[in-house]
Amino acid sequence: MKKLCSFLLILFCAAFTMLIFAGCSSDDASVPLAPANGSASSIENVHGLVLSRDGREVAFVEEVKIDGFVTVPMGRNSEVFEVEFMDENWEIINVDEKYYSLAWKHEDSGIATFDKPDSLNEWQFHIHGKKPGSSAFKLHLENSKGIEYSSPPIRLEVR
């Protein structure tokens, strides 16, 4: 009987210890963006982005809410636009360009075109205004399997 009580006490302590450690884990831990095994992982913790033009923030995207829009001049060389992806705490996510790339989809290529020369880094691009008008574009974060994150449409004005 004494051995059974000792065994049950040890079993109870082990179960209690496991419960304590399980309670300490975080369900919202960030997903690695550059896994060590070389495969691309999901980017479930991207909750928005900041779009800047020559270092000045022009648009903020948080989930589906957009604050700001992009204005470009017609016929002139565009300034450099840069994207920073943000997590739920509005902190910058360091996305590894070895696994991910930036892409875009715009509504009207007659109003503006997008360009990413080799001289820019992976998260930078140009928008060239072709004729005055309004349009919209989405920014995508892609990996080898397809689109991992897509922004809602961001308004674009060409003047």
Whether 44 has a pLDDT exceeding 80, the answer reads no
Note the CATH number of domain 48-158: 2.60.40.1080
> For 81-97, what is each residue's pLDDT tens digit?
999 998 888 888 888 88
Question: Confidence band (pLDDT; 50, 70, 90) for 6?
Answer: low
DSSP character for 92? B
Residues 6+ away with beta carbon under 8 Å from 83: 49, 50, 51, 102, 123, 124, 139
Structure tokens given for 153: 């449409």
Annotated domain spans of the chain: 48-158
Taking the model in full, what pTM does it have?
Answer: 0.67
> For 117-147, what is each residue's pLDDT tens digit?
888 888 999 999 999 999 999 999 998 888 8
Residue where the block lists tokens 């079993």: 11
